[in-house]
A and B are shown apart, each in its own frame.
Chain A
Amino acid sequence: MSARLSRGGRLIDRRAPVTFRFDGKPMTGFAGDTLAASLLANDQMLVGRSFKYHRPRGIVASGAEEPNALVGLGQGPRFEPNQRVTTTETFEGLTAISQNHWPSLDYDIGAVNGYLSRFLPAGFYYKMFLWPRPFWKHVYEPFIRQSAGLGKVPQEADADRYEQAYAFADLVVAGGGIAGLTAALTAARAGKRVILLEQTAHWGGRAPVDGDEIDGMAADLWVKNAVQALEGMANVTMRLRTMVSGLYDHGYALAYERVADHTPGDGRPRHRLWRIRAGKVIAATGAIERPLSFAGNDIPGVMLAAAVRDFVVNWAVSPGDRSVVVTNNDDAYRTALALADAGLVVAAVIDARPSVTGDLPAQVRARGIRVLEGRGIAKVKGAKRVTGVAICAQQGEGAVLEEIACDVVAMSGGWSPVVHLWSHCGGKLIWDADASMFRPDAARPPTGDAGQPMAATAGAASGALQTAAVLADAHAAAGGEGLAPQATGPAEAPMLPVWIMPQGAGIALKSKMWLDYQNDVKVSDVQLAAREGYESVEHTKRYTTLGMATDQGKLSNINGLAVLSHALHQEIPATGTTTFRPPYTPISLGSIGGEARGEIFQPLRQTPMHDWHSAQGAYWEPVGQWRRPYCYKRSGETAHEAVNREVINTRSNIGLLDASTLGKILVKGADAGRFLDMLYTGVMSTLPVGKCRYGLMCNDNGFLIDDGVVVRMSEDSWLCHTTTGGADRIHAHMEDWLQCEWWDWKVHTANLTEQYAQVAIVGPKARMLLEKLGGMDVSREALPFMTYAEGTLGGFRARVFRISFSGELSYEVAVPASEGLAFWEACVAAGAEFGAMPYGTEALHVLRAEKGFIMIGDETDGTVIPQDLGLGWAISKKKADYLGKRAQERSHMADPNRWKLVGLETLDGSVLPDGALAVAEGVNANGQQRTQGRVTSTYHSPVLKKGIAMGLVLNGPGRMGEVLDFPVDDGKVVQARIVDQVFYDKDGEKQNV
């Protein structure tokens, strides 16, 4: 059994016990524990079930590389699945639940999959579930969803806050072990601005556990001194619990700070994502120990050798009473020594190497521990917990030589440098045959914006595994001059590559050798994939699921590559690695979203009258980022009824529209007229001062992009109105042409959209309202249709435009935005006696559709030219050039057989669905029904009391009176007649009174 030792534990505080629950069971740990340490201290080795076969899964590792021990943490709005117990700090009140089993962790029905494992080999899903198709929905998918998968999705909205922050540094050091500390100290002493980040809650990494001396002192003390020195430097920022999750272009690094995971609900943000721009990044990210592939290597109690000594030394936790160490290298002997130091029994060290000499084995032997040379594990015995191992010759086929009882197997297959950050942005690797590892090729680093190397590795991440080499490498990586910190420690003998154990194992053993614990991938699966023709490591990954999901193969990749290479009869470097992609370990979606949640999810643009609309029950419509009132519902009204009321009232009395969102761009300069003549299809340079003209804007590809009324303000300035959604886009469009094509033209633009609040006062009694406000002559004679005047209206500084988007008598009045609300309220008050009421965007649409006015975005979709919309009258035939002119001369644009704008009137008076297609005879080359038109705008007209629509129809204007078929839902067909698109006041008399 696993238990807490009575002495030791460099990271725990025995005076601070904490209570927590695992699967509802109360347990006790100590402050400083990881949840893994706390669970083991409570003899909870079994923590979950595997993904596919539901095999019992125990804690394997002690850090970020843990593939097995994933739990659901927290409750309700703070529940989160798939959290590694090895990176979770234990705190008072923590609750965790195990995952992926039913009905319980100890007794799991899904484990039957394990017995069927020979029927569930690599690629099983691909092979079996291809056919028959309907089975997917009704049989396979429900089965897979029930039996496979990791944790459950949270059911409640997240109660926590998340944020991001930007930082800048000459150097970011990822990893706060002795390599990271050395690199940070070296760079900081040279005056560099340094950010040092460590993913765990402690500085120092592995060195204090492994026990070497640095600069003549214990590693622990050296680390303490180094941290103190760094803390005293103003040019150094240090952060614990912060993982550099990825390195991107031009020195952009993301760092994931787990601010309050261990203090939930304390008011701090839970996670913070640092967006760092670094001159250089040094990855001092260490190395990860590799498992060995022997039969039964996934049984709980089989752990990484270094993890076993971490638990003993850091947290005073004994993973078991009687351990066996199995290894191909000297480092694992440190585990035997740590166990022996803690008074625990080490039954044997099983070493695959034929002859073991070295300092560390000598120390182990001196303690009276058996060292078996040239031996391997034939099989681990046990089900939910290791009970013993069967020993064989490594060179043989697995004949059992002896059995040793034990409850822990501490395995070490060598070490793999953590090269993720180096590789994320293009750093290349080389295969180091002596150490059997891929390590960074210093000659081919990732490069930055000036082509310079933008990353380096330091210490074990470079492949330096001995303490002295780690320090020297880190010192050099940071550009250190002079002597690196010195270390003394035992000399280590070379390791021996061992990819399967024993070397000659047959299929029975290989189908029990797990490569990927999380995804249930075995040696036999990879070999099967190779036999089936999978040569690319990337394909094999997807086919077998090796190295997928949350751990991304931190333990399994190199072993998997080696097995694949062997099966393909090629060297490991020829197989290569899968691509290392960020993040290094999963980061929360909350941190990626940052502050963008709820009210501040995105900017919502508001006019000065926004709060008034809100108080009047406005039903909002998003228009770009603006919120505009769709209609103002009165009590008891539906939105449709409100729209009808607003339309009828505007046609019979007065409607007030908040038109502030309309774009207003001032264009001024000696060449402004010439510029606008290029921008608009019509002529603006000849517009007299004080007059308004409707204009169309196309891109140079000929398509209509915006429309609006242009006003000549003075001899050299024009005010261009744009659509609500178009203001920023059109301003940018203007600046693009001015800056990049006609840069010698004397033109200035200013986007004044938000300087003015604009109110449209619309309807037959509109003039009465303005006269009541008083201060300006707004008579037909003084201010005729399509003119403009400036003055004081009701005490407000006002610009009055006599323009109409409804066909009614209409004034649009602009006042400074700061006075917009007051002006609006003045209009409402002055209009009360004339029956004035506000109207929203839907009434605006109905009013304009009744008049056959087009709307950018409805009648246009980026493929429509003005000629399609019957707007030839707004296109100058005389101008030599304007944006879009050449494009509109192309044969297809000039083709008479284009879809063109017409009105559509349903025979039964109903409203056509928006976007409905008119069918034609026959089918096209793809066997689809031919079409001959589509509906672009469609409304119920409360004035005409029937459905009205506009649409683009093949040769439409030449086919007046024809009836088209529009298939709608449920096989029904609505018939509509082609008519003129002006449904109301065809002669335009009302707007001109």
Chain B
Amino acid sequence: MLTLTCPHCGIRAEETELSPGGEAHLKRYGPGDSDEQFEAYMFARKNPKGVHFERWRHAYGCGKWFLAARCTATLEVFGTYPAQVSAPPEPIIEAIRARRPGWEAGQ
């Protein structure tokens, strides 16, 4: 059972205090966009063995959504950050590279 630190309230919460929200950093497509774009947004999800970005809500705490960078194979957490960004912030990228040399964003 994971522990993740909520960047909004600073609590190192255990998984039972959180609810998962799937892949992070999706770009919404809507009216006017192509079927392919919409399909990719609505259905195509990464399922990497390794570094992954996820949405979590501190459901039994401050109620805020945050994002986590995590290794799906070892469960190592590289960092958590507020959800109000469209791409992982630089310190998170650096933390991942420090632990996973050779990793490229967008992989």
- A residues with a Cβ closer than 8 A to B are 248-252, 277, 426, 447-451, 700-701, 732, 735-736, 739-741, 743, 880-881, 885-887, 889-890
Contacts and interface: CB of A to CB of B under 8 A. Distances in A.
A250 B31 contact: no
A449 B75 contact: yes
B30 interface: yes
A881 B55 CA distance: 24
B42 A700 contact: yes
Nearest to A890: B35
Interface string B25-62: 00011111101001000100000000000010101000
B84 interface: yes
B36 to A, nearest CB: 12
Contacts of B31: 880-881, 885-886, 889
Contact of A887 (B2, B38, B63): B38
A739 B71 CA distance: 24
- Central interface residue in B1, B2, B59, by most chain A CB within 10 Å: B1
B65 interface: yes
A749 to B, nearest CB: 10
16 contacts: A249-B1, A251-B3, A448-B76, A449-B2, A451-B99, A735-B65, A739-B65, A739-B84, A743-B83, A743-B84, A885-B30, A885-B31, A886-B32, A886-B33, A886-B38, A887-B38
B1 to A, nearest CB: 5
Contacts of A249: 1-2, 75
Contacts of A885: 30-31
Contacts, number: 67
Given A249-B75, A740-B83, A886 B30 contact: yes
B9 to A, nearest CB: 14
B99 to A, nearest CB: 6
Chain B interface residue number, banded: 20 to 34
B55 A740 contact: yes
Contacts of A450: 76-77
A732 B65 CA distance: 10
A250 B38 contact: no
B1 A250 contact: yes
B84 to A, nearest CB: 4
B74 interface: yes
B70 to A, nearest CB: 9
Contacts of A881: 30-31
Q: Point out which of A277, A448, A451, A889 has the most chain B C-beta atoms below 10 A from its C-beta.
A: A451
Contact of A701 (B3, B42, B74, B83): B42
Nearest to B83: A740
Contacts of A741: 28
A886 B28 CA distance: 11
A736 B64 CA distance: 8
Contacts of B99: 451
Contact of A447 (B14, B21, B33, B76): B76
Contacts of A248: 1
Contacts of A426: 74
A455 to B, nearest CB: 14
Nearest to A736: B65
Nearest to B35: A890
Contacts of A740: 55, 65, 83-84
B96 to A, nearest CB: 11
Given A248-B1, A249-B1, A451 B76 contact: yes
A450 B21 CA distance: 22
Contacts of A739: 64-65, 83-84
Interface in B73-107: 74-77, 83-84, 99
Given A277-B14, A740-B65, 15 more contacts: A250-B75, A251-B3, A252-B14, A447-B74, A447-B76, A449-B77, A700-B42, A732-B57, A736-B21, A736-B57, A740-B84, A743-B84, A880-B31, A886-B29, A890-B38
Nearest to B55: A740
A736 B28 CA distance: 13
Q: Which 3 A-B pairs have the closest CB atoms?
A: A451-B76, A743-B84, A886-B30
Contacts of A743: 83-84
Nearest to B84: A743
A935 to B, nearest CB: 30
Contacts of B84: 739-740, 743
A212 B77 CA distance: 45
A252 B13 CA distance: 12
Contacts of B33: 886
A61 to B, nearest CB: 32
A671 to B, nearest CB: 15
B7 to A, nearest CB: 12
